[in-house]
Amino acid sequence: MANDEHGCEPEKPGSFFAESKIGSNRRDDLVLPTRKLSDREDLLAEGVNLPERGRITEPNKGREWIVGWRDGTALSLFDGADRVFQFNTSGQLRRVFLAGQKLAARDGELSRLTRRSDAAGRMAFDTIALSTQRRDQVLQCLQVSLSELAQILASGNPQIETIGLPPNVFSGRLQRWLDDVNPVVIAHGPGVVG
């Protein structure tokens, strides 16, 4: 399944991406500017917060995921340039970066974080809870990413580069994590320890 079949592509009308345009009159539709893939650091080489990490590339399409662990169990999944899903040490979804938006877990739900500066010029974040529909769209995009990643691993043909652990250990750990994370549970907060 391609991401665009499930509302995870910018071009699809009705998708999380298409409806997340600046200028919308809905409070939970505002976005932050997205970064281009070329602007992103090479997470495999420079992802020092993820001491055990790897890049999985689908050979036929060149699509890639970066997966890494903090503290040995808190997984971060980077699916292309603008889909980042981060989990806590209990495997619960804690933070999401999607369609230029920063989302964080709060009391088992997802909230959009918006930056503002106070009168003294200090930066702060406001949180706005996502609607049930928006939350479900985010979770659907996550499920598509996880499903496609699992399919690539199961194909026996992915290209895998790793840092901090051998490729076979990386793919085995990732496969076990994928088996255990379903269904996805939203954490009570955005912290790494769950």
C-alpha angle 174/176/160, rounded to 5°?
25
Neighbour tally for 174: CB within 10 Å: 21
Give CB contacts under 8 A, 24+ apart, made by 67-74.
Answer: 67/149, 67/170, 67/174, 68/43, 69/173, 70/192, 71/192, 71/193, 74/192, 74/193, 74/194
pLDDT over threshold 70, residue 6:
no
DSSP β-bridge partners for residue 104 = 95, 111
139-192 tens-digit pLDDT: 999 999 999 999 999 988 899 999 999 999 999 999 999 999 989 999 999 999
Q: pTM for the full model?
A: 0.81
DSSP β-bridge partners for residue 163 = 53
Min mean pLDDT across 1-5, 70-74, 97-101, 153-157 is at: 1-5
